[in-house]
Amino acid sequence: MSMPWSGRALVVGAGGIGRALASSLRMNHPQLEVTLCGRELAAGIDWSVDLESPPSLEAFQQKLIADSLPLRLVINATGLLHRADGDAPAITPEKRLQQVDLHALNACFAVNAAAPLLLAKAIEPCLERSRPFHYASLSARVGSITDNRSGGWYAYRGAKAAQNMYLKTLSLEWARRFPQATVLLLHPGTTDTALSKPFQSFVRPESLFSPERAAGHLLEVLMNQGPDQSGSFLAWDGQPIPW
């Protein structure tokens, strides 16, 4: 984009990619006020928001409405593929139908499908018809129905496919109401984070990205999309992914 980006930039999700995105934005776009948001306040996290908690989302929305800076960019970098902590049942990608579990289906849907849409709902009151705005959410190639050739991973695939539908639908609504808004679904590639750690043995070394490399690719793609590309599902190299 030819004009410098200015205003508030939110990165929601303080995992490896989220932190790398926030760092890259701060380094390369000094006119943006970059705010890293996590489920809880911790080292390096500026604001807290729990996308699965309506009261937390309401408080987050009120904080944004009271903010003196215009909202320029929001990136959702949250995601759930597996989980083994806490008292809740463990979640792991299914290899076959008999491993499908209602708890895992609901948990993956809440984080990977519902949360990006609820985040969009929370920030919508801060948007203006005449002001450029980008909303990007991390999706995954495995959420492509057309590209699914190996099966398995029911909960994660289904939730990411649902996110794709939700944000494609959102892009059409916002095109009418906020014509300067751009909604994007971005696939970061396989990245060396906790999310992919148990499955990295299946990935060629040259295909495993560092969080910093993934963030650089994602921001390059994002910065080169405008309202005419709103609703696109794009890979880290800018190539479209089939739905």
CATH fold, domain 7-235, is Rossmann fold (3.40.50)
108, 155 Cβ separation under 8 angstroms:
yes
Q: Report pLDDT for 3.
A: 67
Spatial distance between the Cα atoms of 140 and 37, rounded to a whole number of angstroms: 21
Alpha helices for the chain (secondary structure H): 16-28, 54-66, 102-109, 115-123, 154-177, 211-223
Q: Report pLDDT for 1.
A: 46
Does the pLDDT of residue 187 top 80, yes or no? yes
The dihedral built from the CA positions of residue 85, 80, 212 and 19, taken in this order, carries a sign that is negative
179, 147 Cβ separation under 8 angstroms:
no
Does the pLDDT of residue 179 top 80, yes or no? yes
CB atoms near residue 216 (< 10 Å): 17
Q: Report pLDDT for 207.
A: 83
Query: Whole-model pTM?
Result: 0.95
> Tens of pLDDT along 17-57?
999 999 999 999 999 999 999 999 999 999 999 999 999 99
Q: Report pLDDT for 204.
A: 82
Average pLDDT value for the chain: 95
The CA–CA distances, whole Å, from 107 to 12, 83, 137, 196 equal 18, 10, 18, 18
Residue 72 DSSP label: E
